[in-house]
Amino acid sequence: MNKNIIVCDFILYLIFPLVIWNVFKNYMDDYYAMLISSIPGIVYSIIRFILLKKINLFGVALITNLTIGILIDVLAGSAIQMLWNEVFYSYIVAFIFIVTILINKPIFLVFSLDFVEMQGHTREQLKKVFYQKKILFVFKLITYGFALREILLATIKIWLIQKYGIHSFDKGLILRQILNWTITGISMYGFIYISKCLNPPEPVTNSKPTMQENNP
């Protein structure tokens, strides 16, 4: 994983929102403090979309997720409803991930095709390779992993909301990043395996001279 992305995610999806939330909640309604705390992440997501320099499924998914996230926050009307909306949305995202697996088009396979195409590879050729049985199975496992992340996040958030109310907001931010890094880290093993399947090691040839070569 790119170190710059990790640092930017950590700062803009976690540190800035936590700082903004804890400062602004003392001067305004909790709901508006939550909305303002989401601004750094929104701006960062838009910049990442622009840097893609090409419209593909990953870019569309990124901007769609951002737009829906803004809408469910703005239309919530209250801090506690905003938290519950995020729970419902996480379950919906998990459901979408699972559906893509059931229709044999795991979403992370499609995202990977977008990335390799951006690097100059032929999409159709790699699509045939990605749909080989072993590689397809690994992509399904990766997609299941991220679906599990959303389910765990939503389920734990329900418990946090019931126990801490609006004060579960910062705990939810921390939980999201921990689950995101954990599942992403585990999924990297899957991508490494896929990379090895695409680039198998060359067979080692024995360069040691034979007896006949040494004895003319």
What pLDDT, on a 0 to 100 scale, did the predictor assign at position 95?
Answer: 97
Tally the residues of the chain. 216
Copy the structure tokens of residue 173: 């931010």
pLDDT above 70: residue 33:
yes
Average pLDDT, the chain: 82
Which tens digit of pLDDT belongs to each residue from 105-126?
Answer: 999 998 888 877 777 667 777 8
CA distance 101 to 66: 23
The DSSP code sequence of 153-207 is HHHHHHHHHHHHGGGGHHHHHHHHHHHHHHHHHHHHHHHHHHHHHHSPPPPPP--
User: Whole-angstrom Cα distance, residue 110 to residue 209?
Assistant: 49
Closest C-alpha to 94, from 159, 145, 158:
145
Beta strands in 64-115 (DSSP E): none
Alpha-carbon separation of residue 167 from 7, 52, 160, 162, 193 (angstroms): 26, 36, 9, 10, 41
- Would the pLDDT of 34 be above 60? yes
Distance CA 67, CA 59 (A): 12
What tens digit of pLDDT does each residue of 142-188 get?
999 999 999 999 999 999 999 999 888 888 888 888 888 888 888 88
Maximum separation of any 2 CA atoms in the chain, in Å: 93
> What residues contact residue 123 under an 8 Å CB cut-off, 6+ apart?
113, 116, 117
For residue 213, the surrounding DSSP H or E stretch is helix 211-214
Please check the confidence at residue 216 and state whether its pLDDT lies above 50.
no
Q: Report the distance separating Cα 38 and Cα 110, nearest Å.
A: 28
Q: Tell me: the pLDDT tens digits for 72-104?
A: 888 888 989 999 999 999 999 999 999 999 999
| Both structure tokens of 123 | 């999409």
pLDDT(213) > 60: no
Q: What's residue 169's pLDDT?
A: 86
Is there a contact between 180 and 41 (Cβ–Cβ < 8 Å)?
A: no
Give pLDDT tens digits for 5-14.
Answer: 667 777 777 7
- pLDDT at residue 94 in the model: 95
Domain extent listing, the chain: 3-198
